[in-house]
C-alpha cells in the first residue's frame, strides 16, 4: 500500500512538470514580459524606462531559461523559469503583480471557499441520490416520466438564471437572507444559506439523471433479481442491495473533486461576494494579475492530482475486488 | 462579400456534413437509427426548433459590405433583413412595447416651457397619436396581422405538400392514403404542429418589431430583440466550431493510443492527463488573458470591431476545444482497445491487411457512434458555458453579441426600481429554447445510436 502510494506520487511528478511547462510557455513565451508590462502600464506612450522598471520590480528582468551573463550555478538560477516556476513545486507562490504574498492570501481565502463548496456538495449528493432512488423505485410510471422531463428542463436552464433568480426572489423580494456578503465564524451561516441552496438546486438536473443511470444499470444485474426472487420487497432490494453497490462509483466520483473544493466556484463566489479563492481568481483575471492566475492554475492541478490519488485509494477501501498493485 | 474566419469554418462544417451525408446515404447500419430518430416525436420537434435556430445563424453568417456604405462596416444578411431593428436606437432603457422612455427627463414643450415627464420614444410606437388609448388595440391588431401572415404561409406550404402527396396517390384514395401515412408517421404530424406554432409566432414578432421594441431596449437604447437574435450565431458557433476543432485531435490521438499501445499510448495518455489536470476554467482564463495581451499588442491586425470580435470568438472556440478534447479522447482510446481484440480485426490483420487500412476501414467506422453522441451532448453544455465565461470576462469579445454579454450587462440593473427585467428575460428565454431543444435531441440521438441503450428499448 505504502509502496503503491509512493509510486503514484512519483508518477504525478512528470504530470505537474508538464503543467508547469505549459503555464510557463503560455505566460512567458507566447507573450514576452515586455508585452505584459505594456499591458499593465497602459497601451500607448509607455517609455522603455517604465517597462524595464516594471520588469525589475516584479522580477521579470532576467532571461527566460538561460542566463549567460551570470556565473556558475546562477546561469540556471537567475532565470524566469527557475524563479517563477520551480518555486511552485515547493508551493512557494511568490509575490503577486500588485505586491501581495500569494501564499498567505491562499491560506486565508481557502476556508470561505470550503465553507460554501463542502455543504453544497454534501447536501447536493443527498438530494440527488434521494431523487434518483425515488425515480428508480417508481420506474416505468408517470412519476418517472415527469421526473425525467423535469430533469431535462432543469438542466437546460443556465446556472446564471438560478443565481440571479434566487438572489432576486429570496434575497430581494422575500428578504429572508442577505443578498451577498460574508462574515467570520458562525455569523457566516446566514450568508451561506442562499449560495448553498442555489448551488444544490442548479446541480439537481444533471445529478439526478446521472445517478439514475447508475442505479438503473445496477438494478438490471443478476444479484438484484436473486434478491427479488428470495422474496425481498422492492424497497428492501433497493436500499439493501442496489444502493451499497451503486455507492462505489458515486463515492469515487465524489472523492476526486474533494480537494478541488478548496478552489471554490468562480461564479458563486463573485455573485455572493464571498472572499474565497474563486473570487480571488476572478479579481486576478479582471485586474490581469498574471502571477496569481499562474499560481492558481498550478494549485488547481496539484489538487486534482491529489484527488486522483485519493480516488485510487478509496477504491480499495470500498470495493474489496480491487487490489492495488 | 466578406468571409470572416468563423464564417469560413461554418461553411467548411456544412461541406463536411454534406459530404458525410452523401457518403453514408443508404447504408443500412445508419438507416436504422436515423429511422428511430425520425419516428420519435420529441426528436423531430426538437430538430425543427434547432433547424430554425440554425437557419437564423446561417443568415447571420453571410457577411458583406453594403453598396451605399459610408461607415465602412460589415453587415450580415440578417442585419440587412433587420435593418429597421438595427437602426432604430433609442436614447436609453425602455420597457417592452413601451412608447415612452424608462426614466423621466426634462422635456421642451411646444410652447417653450419645460416639463418633467416621460419622453416619447423616437421609434417605438411613434406612429400612434394617443398611445394611452391606442396602444393595446394597435398591438393586438399588428400581432393578429402577423399571425395571419404566418398562418397563410403555413397553409400554403401544407397545401403544396398535400397536393404533392395527393398526386402520388389516386385522387379518390387521397384521403385514405393520407390517413394511413399519418398513422405510421405520427412524427410528421408533430412537425407540422410545431411549424404551425413557430412560424406564425415568428411572423407576428417580425411584424411587431417593425413598430415596437418587442423586448424593450437596453442601456444605450439598442433593441433587445435584435441583440437576442444576433446572439444565436455566437451560441451556435461556440457549440459547433469547438467540436469541429477538437474532433480531429481527439479522433487521431484516441484511436492511435488504443491501437498501437506501448509508448504511443504512454505519450498520448501523458498529454491528456496533463491537460485535464488543469481545472478547465483556469486554463481558459489563462489562455484568454494571453490572447488579450496578444491582441492589444498587435492592434494593427484587427482593423474593424467585427473582425476583432470574430478573431476572439475563434480563439475562444480553439481554447474550449483544447480543454475539452481529453474526455472524448479517453472514451475513444478505451473503445479502440476493446475493438482491436475483436475477431474481425484479428482476422483482417491475419489476412495481411495493412495497419492503416485496418484503422480506416475497421476501427474508425465502429467508433463513430461515440463521436456522434459526444458531439451532440457537448453542444448544449458549450452554449451554457459561453454565458458563464462571458460573465467572468473571459468569454467572447465585449463588443460582440452574445447571451452572456446581455446577461452581464443587465444584471446590475436588477437593483433599479422598477427593475429592468427584459434584457435578462430575453437572453435566458432564447438560451433556454436552444439548450432545451439540443438536450432533447441529444437524448433521442443517444437512444438511437448507443448500442448499450438500444437493447432495453
Q: What confidence score (pLDDT) does residue B457 get?
A: 40
Residue B34 scores a pLDDT above 60: yes
> Which tens digits make up the pLDDT trace of A113-161?
988 899 999 999 999 999 999 999 888 889 988 999 999 999 999 888 9
A306-313 average pLDDT score: 87
**What confidence tens digit (pLDDT) does each residue in B194-225 have?**
888 888 888 888 888 888 888 888 888 888 88
pLDDT (0 to 100) of residue A75: 67
Look up residue B119 and give its DSSP letter: P
Q: How confident is the model at residue A43 (pLDDT cuts 50, 70, 90)?
A: low
Q: What is the mean pLDDT of chain B?
A: 83
Q: What is the CATH number of domain B5-65+223-454?
A: 1.10.3720.10
Closest listed residue to residue A60, CA positions, set A109, A92, A101, A94? A94
The pLDDT, as a whole number, for residue B456 is 43
| Predicted pLDDT at B210 | 81
Decide if pLDDT at A32 tops 80: no
Output the pLDDT for position B268. 92
The answer, yes or no, to whether residue A174 has pLDDT greater than 60, is yes
pLDDT of residue B336: 92
Closest in B275, B278, B435 to A300, CB measured:
B278
Please indicate whether, in this complex, the C-beta atoms of A156 and B287 are within 8 angstroms of each other: no
CB spacing of B414 vs A296 below 8 angstroms: no
| Dihedral Cα A211, A217, A219, A225, nearest 10 deg | -170
> Is B423 in the A-facing interface, judged by CB distances under 8 Å?
no
Q: Return the top range by mean pLDDT from B7-16, B62-71, B166-175, B445-454.
A: B7-16
Distances (CA, A) of B393 to A25, A298, B281, B449: 23, 21, 12, 38
The predicted pLDDT at position A70 comes to: 67
Closest CB from A156, A164, A293 relative to B439: A156
pLDDT of residue B329: 93
pLDDT in tens, B320-360: 998 888 889 999 999 999 998 889 999 998 999 898 899 88
Supply the pLDDT for residue B317: 92
Cα nearest neighbour of A278 on chain B: B282
* ipTM for the assembly: 0.86
| d(CA A125, nearest CA chain B) in Å | 21
Q: Which residue of B has its CA nearest to A279?
A: B392
Give CA separation, B155 vs A24, A51, B148, B160, in Å: 63, 69, 10, 9
B266, B288, B296, B392: best to mutate for the A interface, most A CBs within 10 A: B392
Tell me what the pLDDT averaged over chain A comes to.
83
What pLDDT does residue B176 have? Answer: 52
Task: Name the pairing type of β-strands B63-64 and B114-117.
Answer: unpaired
In degrees and rounded to multiples of 5, residue B100 shows phi and psi of: -125, 165
pLDDT digits (tens, 9 = 90+) for A74-122: 666 667 777 777 777 777 777 777 778 888 888 888 888 988 899 999 9
Radius of gyration for the alpha carbons in chain B, expressed in angstroms and rounded: 26
Instruction: List CB contacts of B109: < 8 A, sequence separation 6 or more.
Output: B115
pLDDT on residue B183: 43
Per-residue pLDDT of A188-246, as tens digits, reads 888 888 999 999 999 999 999 999 988 988 888 899 999 989 988 888 888 888 888 88
Lowest mean pLDDT among A64-68, B189-193, B431-435: A64-68
Share of chain A above pLDDT 90, in %: 14
pLDDT confidence band for A187 (50 / 70 / 90): confident
Burial of B433 per CB tally in 10 Å (0-12, 13-18, 19+): middle
Whole-prediction pTM: 0.88
Residue A228: exposure state from Cβ atoms within 10 A (0-12, 13-18, ≥19): middle
Query: Which pLDDT does position A102 carry in this prediction?
Result: 84
User: Angle, to 10 degrees, between the axis of helix B5-24 and the axis of helix B305-339?
Assistant: 30
Of chain B residues 275-314, which have a CB less than 8 A from chain A? 275-279, 281-283, 285-287, 289-290, 292-294, 296-297, 299
Q: Which three cell numbers stand for residue A228?
A: 427479488
Rounded distance between C-alpha atoms, residue A41 and residue A57, angstroms: 13
Judged on CB neighbours under 10 Å (0-12, 13-18, 19+), A99 is: exposed
Mean pLDDT value of segment A316-322: 77
| Structure confidence at residue A79 (pLDDT) | 72
Q: Does the pLDDT value for residue B37 go beyond 90?
A: no
Amino acid at each position: 500500500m505504502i509502496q503503491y502510494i509512493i509510486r503514484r506520487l512519483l508518477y504525478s511528478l512528470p504530470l505537474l512538470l508538464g503543467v508547469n511547462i505549459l503555464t510557463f510557455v503560455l505566460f512567458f513565451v507566447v507573450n514576452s514580459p515586455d508585452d505584459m508590462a505594456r499591458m499593465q502600464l497602459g497601451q500607448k506612450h509607455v517609455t522603455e524606462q517604465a517597462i524595464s522598471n516594471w520588469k525589475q520590480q516584479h522580477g521579470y528582468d532576467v532571461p527566460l531559461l538561460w542566463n549567460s551573463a551570470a556565473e556558475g550555478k546562477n546561469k540556471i538560477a537567475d532565470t524566469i523559469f527557475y524563479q517563477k516556476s520551480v518555486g511552485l513545486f515547493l508551493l512557494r507562490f511568490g509575490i503577486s503583480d500588485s505586491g501581495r504574498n500569494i501564499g498567505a492570501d491562499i491560506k486565508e481565502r481557502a476556508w470561505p471557499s470550503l465553507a460554501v463548496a463542502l455543504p453544497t456538495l454534501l447536501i447536493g449528493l443527498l438530494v440527488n441520490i434521494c431523487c434518483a432512488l425515488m425515480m428508480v423505485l417508481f420506474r416505468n410510471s408517470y412519476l418517472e416520466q415527469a421526473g425525467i422531463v423535469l430533469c431535462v428542463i432543469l438542466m437546460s436552464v443556465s446556472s446564471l438564471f438560478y443565481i440571479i433568480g434566487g438572489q432576486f426572489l429570496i434575497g430581494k423580494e422575500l428578504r429572508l437572507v442577505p443578498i451577498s456578503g460574508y462574515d467570520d465564524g458562525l455569523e457566516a451561516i446566514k450568508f451561506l444559506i442562499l449560495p448553498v441552496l442555489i448551488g444544490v438546486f442548479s446541480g439537481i438536473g444533471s445529478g439526478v439523471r446521472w445517478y439514475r443511470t447508475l442505479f438503473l444499470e445496477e438494478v438490471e444485474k443478476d444479484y438484484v433479481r436473486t434478491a427479488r426472487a428470495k422474496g425481498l420487497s422492492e424497497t428492501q432490494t433497493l436500499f439493501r442491495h442496489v444502493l451499497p453497490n451503486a455507492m462505489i462509483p458515486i463515492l469515487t466520483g465524489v472523492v476526486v473533486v474533494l480537494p478541488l473544493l478548496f478552489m471554490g466556484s468562480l461564479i458563486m463566489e463573485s455573485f455572493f461576494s464571498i472572499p474565497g479563492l474563486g473570487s480571488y481568481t476572478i479579481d486576478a483575471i479582471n485586474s490581469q494579475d498574471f502571477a496569481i492566475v499562474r499560481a492558481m492554475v498550478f494549485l488547481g492541478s496539484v489538487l486534482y492530482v491529489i484527488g486522483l490519488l485519493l480516488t485510487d485509494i478509496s477504491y480499495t477501501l470500498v470495493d474489496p475486488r480491487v487490489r492495488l498493485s | 462579400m466578406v468571409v470572416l474566419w468563423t464564417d469560413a469554418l461554418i461553411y467548411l462544417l456544412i461541406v463536411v456534413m454534406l459530404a458525410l451525408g452523401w457518403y453514408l446515404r443508404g447504408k443500412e447500419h445508419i438507416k436504422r437509427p436515423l429511422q428511430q430518430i425520425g419516428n420519435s416525436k420529441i426528436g423531430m420537434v426538437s430538430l425543427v426548433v434547432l433547424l430554425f435556430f440554425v437557419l437564423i445563424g446561417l443568415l447571420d453568417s453571410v457577411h458583406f459590405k453594403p453598396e451605399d456604405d459610408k461607415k465602412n462596416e460589415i453587415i450580415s444578411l440578417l442585419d440587412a433583413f433587420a435593418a429597421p431593428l438595427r437602426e432604430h436606437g433609442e436614447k436609453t432603457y425602455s420597457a417592452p412595447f413601451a412608447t415612452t422612455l424608462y426614466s423621466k427627463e426634462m422635456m421642451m414643450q411646444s410652447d417653450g416651457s419645460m416639463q418633467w415627464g416621460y419622453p416619447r420614444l423616437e421609434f417605438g410606437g411613434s406612429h400612434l397619436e394617443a398611445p394611452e388609448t391606442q396602444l393595446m388595440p394597435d398591438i393586438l391588431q399588428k400581432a393578429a396581422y402577423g399571425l395571419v401572415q404566418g398562418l397563410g404561409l403555413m397553409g400554403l406550404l401544407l397545401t403544396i405538400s398535400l397536393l404533392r402527396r395527393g398526386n402520388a396517390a389516386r385522387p379518390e384514395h387521397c384521403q385514405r392514403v393520407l390517413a394511413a401515412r399519418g398513422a405510421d408517421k405520427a412524427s410528421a404530424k408533430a412537425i407540422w404542429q410545431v411549424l404551425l406554432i413557430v412560424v406564425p409566432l415568428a411572423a407576428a414578432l417580425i411584424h411587431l418589431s417593425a413598430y415596437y421594441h418587442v423586448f424593450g431596449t437596453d442601456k444605450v437604447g439598442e433593441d433587445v430583440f435584435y441583440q437576442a437574435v444576433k446572439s444565436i450565431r455566437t451560441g451556435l458557433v461556440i457549440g459547433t466550431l469547438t467540436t469541429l476543432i477538437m474532433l480531429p485531435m481527439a479522433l487521431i490521438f484516441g484511436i492511435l493510443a488504443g491501437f498501437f499501445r506501448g509508448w504511443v499510448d504512454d505519450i498520448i495518455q501523458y498529454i491528456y492527463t496533463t491537460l485535464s489536470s488543469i481545472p478547465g476554467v483556469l486554463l481558459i482564463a489563462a489562455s484568454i488573458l494571453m490572447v488579450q495581451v496578444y491582441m492589444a499588442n498587435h492592434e494593427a491586425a484587427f482593423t474593424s470591431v467585427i473582425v476583432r470580435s470574430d478573431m476572439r470568438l475563434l480563439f475562444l472556440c480553439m481554447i474550449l476545444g483544447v480543454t475539452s478534447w481529453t474526455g472524448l479522447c479517453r472514451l475513444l482510446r478505451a473503445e479502440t482497445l476493446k475493438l482491436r481484440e475483436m475477431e474481425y480485426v484479428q482476422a483482417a490483420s491475419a489476412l495481411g491487411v495493412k495497419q492503416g487500412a485496418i484503422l480506416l476501414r475497421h476501427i474508425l467506422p465502429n467508433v463513430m457512434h461515440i463521436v456522434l453522441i459526444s458531439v451532440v451532448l457537448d453542444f448544449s453544455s458549450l452554449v451554457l458555458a459561453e454565458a458563464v465565461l462571458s460573465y467572468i470576462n473571459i468569454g467572447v469579445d465585449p463588443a460582440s453579441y452574445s447571451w452572456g454579454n446581455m446577461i452581464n450587462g443587465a444584471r446590475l440593473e436588477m437593483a433599479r426600481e422598477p427593475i429592468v427585467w427584459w434584457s435578462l428575460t430575453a437572453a435566458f428565454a432564447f438560451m433556454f429554447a436552444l439548450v432545451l431543444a439540443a438536450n432533447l435531441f441529444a437524448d433521442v440521438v443517444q437512444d438511437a445510436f448507443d448500442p448499450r441503450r438500444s437493447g432495453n428499448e
